[in-house]
Amino acid sequence: MSALSSVALSGMNAAQTRMAVAGHNIANVQTPGFRAQQVAQRTQASGGVATAVTRAPQPGVSLANEIVGQINAGYAFKANLRTLEVERNTLGTLLDLQA
């Protein structure tokens, strides 16, 4: 797997984590005393991102923030997927030129 693929896949995994956490928070919005989960992302030295799920220090969930977070995660997933598609198509073109 190329470095570009690794970076794109880590971005897709991070987006999926963000989407799952937002869904979990939305599902529990009416749970008394619920502390929302948060996703912390950090860059990796080899490229890409790593995620960690933590709890918010205070109870409560902002539905607006969670919905915007889901939309952003969806766009991030699609952008990373497109990166993989372009890499695959470019590699295919290069192989066709060599044949």
Along the 99 residues of the chain, how does pLDDT read in single tens digits? 578 888 999 999 999 999 999 999 999 999 999 999 999 999 998 889 999 999 999 999 999 999 999 999 999 999 999 999 999 888 777 666 666
Cβ distance 50 to 10 under 8 Å?
Answer: yes
Q: Quick one: pLDDT at residue 35?
A: 97
Q: Furthest-apart CA pair in the chain: how many Å? A: 64
Q: Quick one: pLDDT at residue 88?
A: 86
Q: Quick one: pLDDT at residue 96?
A: 64
pTM of the entire predicted model: 0.85
Q: Quick one: pLDDT at residue 73?
A: 97
Q: Quick one: pLDDT at residue 90?
A: 86
User: How many CB atoms neighbour CB 73 within 10 A?
Assistant: 21
d(CA 18, CA 66): 9
